[in-house]
Amino acid sequence: MDVSTFYGYPGAGGSASDGNFQWDGASNPVVTQPSIYDQYNMFVSPSSVLSGSGITYCNAMDNAPPGGCTDPSVTPNDANIVIDGLDAGLLYPVPPAVTTHGTYDTWSGAEQENAGNAKGTGATQYEAQQQLNPNTPSPSYCEATYGKGWRLPTDIEMGHQDDAPHAAGTGQHDIGYEDATGTYFWTSSAATYGGAGLSQYRWVGSPANATDEWADVVTNTYDISLTLYVRCVFKP
């Protein structure tokens, strides 16, 4: 397969599409490489907007969770997901990662790994542990749709350079994730700014060239129960 023709490949040209596979060909300029939290030279899947309906963060992480990804103080266990399978199939190796296989409350960020000062901003980043082997009872949306090795990207991989929301026009996106409709996409990254702490917020980005926005999820209370869309990634 000649990836040099994929949109997002350096020098390939073309235009972003909802329905095509694309290419994440650039590292995040604020991240010291190599970084397991900023992998690049990856395939980017078509947008799930083509399916016609959005999915919650819980559905993105576990294709068949038991609930609606809402506040467990109202509906117990509603935001639980299952990460299962062998440790060898996990995105972040154990150890040093501490999240392995089990049931995790996403409302409290229990599926998140401490990524340290990955962006160099002085703030601690948190990224979700993910299972890359689809031969499990609880595969993620990306695994169930595309197979082994496919997963949600981090906000760092999608091009987010700091710990703040941004309106359109900031340039903080990787073109490989652009789409034709200005859709918001889930990332696997906790949004911990504004006193949110490690809780029910994840960074969501709209990386289309015309919108180029990182949503203010905390102020607007855009929590993990929202129905948004996904572009999965695969590192060959």
Q: How many domains does the chain have?
A: 1
Q: Is the pLDDT assigned to residue 233 strictly greater than 80?
A: yes
Q: Token digits for 161? A: 């350079």
What is the pLDDT of the chain when averaged over all its residues? 92
Q: How far apart are CA 9 and CA 13, in angstroms?
A: 8
Q: What does the pLDDT read at residue 45?
A: 97
Nearest to 58 by CA among 113, 114, 103: 103
Q: Is the pLDDT assigned to residue 73 strictly greater than 70?
A: yes
Instruction: Give 183: exposed, middle or buried? Use CB within 10 Å, 0-12, 13-18, 19+.
Output: buried
66 pLDDT band (50/70/90 cuts)? low
Strands 102-105 and 80-83 turn out to be antiparallel
Task: Kindly report, residue by residue over 86-110, the tens digit of the pLDDT.
Answer: 888 999 999 888 888 899 999 999 9
Q: Is 199 helix (H, G, I), strand (E, B) or coil?
A: coil
53 pLDDT band (50/70/90 cuts)? confident
Instruction: Give residue 94's domain range.
Output: 1-236
Q: What does the pLDDT read at residue 91?
A: 96
Q: What does the pLDDT read at residue 51?
A: 81
